[in-house]
Amino acid sequence: MEEYEYEIMYHIESTYWWFRGKQFLIDMLLGRHFKGGKSNRSLDIGAGTGSTLEFLRKFGPAYGVEFSTVAIHMLRQRGLNSIVRSDAENPMPFKSDTFSIVTCLDVLEHLGNDSGLIEEMVRVCKPGGLILITVPALRFLWSRHDEALHHKRRYTKKQLLNQVVSPNCSVIKASYFNAFLFVPIVAVRKLESFWKNDKEAKSDFFVPIPEWMNRFLYFLYTTELKCLRIANFPFGVSIVMIVQKLKVA
């Protein structure tokens, strides 16, 4: 990710509809599926500028993995100091069976070896613990947004499911999401491709929107996410997956 994208994220993630909606999703799904227990620890992989890490503190001690020194500086500005600087392409410096919750939100698409990170998440997760993953969906949605964020791929649900084939894991939920806004997002990104020029690529987060629109988009987004409690969507801009590491009999 470009350094200026971290700056944008740091200043808008507490108010911008996309980031607030992502926190709503985490809260809803973990609230529904996480059963708790003693000595809960959480790990956020690709902690960015800290909104997810701050939220995970409600479950107990929360740790983050981040490689960008710019992002780590911003994390520390927020008072989030339980951070390990590590490249997600390499083994993480944690013992096996350490964390009750592992989150990996919009990280796998940045890696050459995404399956290696999934294996690492399973390794550090406690038996009975949960792994929550989100990724961008569908290759035909590729745009300047992906280029600015240094994505290597977008996924189908089947591709993501194929990465989580393990005898000691169970997929609790796998669904596309951000479906209500699918058509307008497709339209904007396809139109954007016609206007492509030599200027530096910027993510969609760079575009300012009026406050009324921000509130409206958040309302649509969270209304849709509530539907995920009882249903899965057949398409969407993103994919969410919850994996439980099985207890050994």
Q: What is the tens place of the pLDDT at every residue in 201-224? A: 556 665 678 999 999 999 999 999
Whole-angstrom Cα Rg for the chain = 17
Bridge partners of 131, per DSSP, are 102, 243
Domains located in the chain, CATH noted = 3-245 (3.40.50.150)
Give pTM, 2 decimals.
0.90
Look at residue 92 in the predicted model and tell me its pLDDT: 92
Indicate the pLDDT class of residue 63, thresholds 50, 70 and 90. very high
Q: What is the tens place of the pLDDT at every residue in 93-127? A: 999 999 999 999 999 999 989 999 999 999 999 99
Look at residue 187 in the predicted model and tell me its pLDDT: 83
In the block, residue with structure tokens 């997810």 = 52
Q: What is the tens place of the pLDDT at every residue in 191-201? A: 766 665 555 55
Q: Which two tokens stand for residue 113?
A: 């070896």
What would the mean pLDDT of 131-149 be, rounded to a whole number? 88
Mean pLDDT, the chain, integer: 87
Is the pLDDT at 59 greater than 70, yes or no? yes
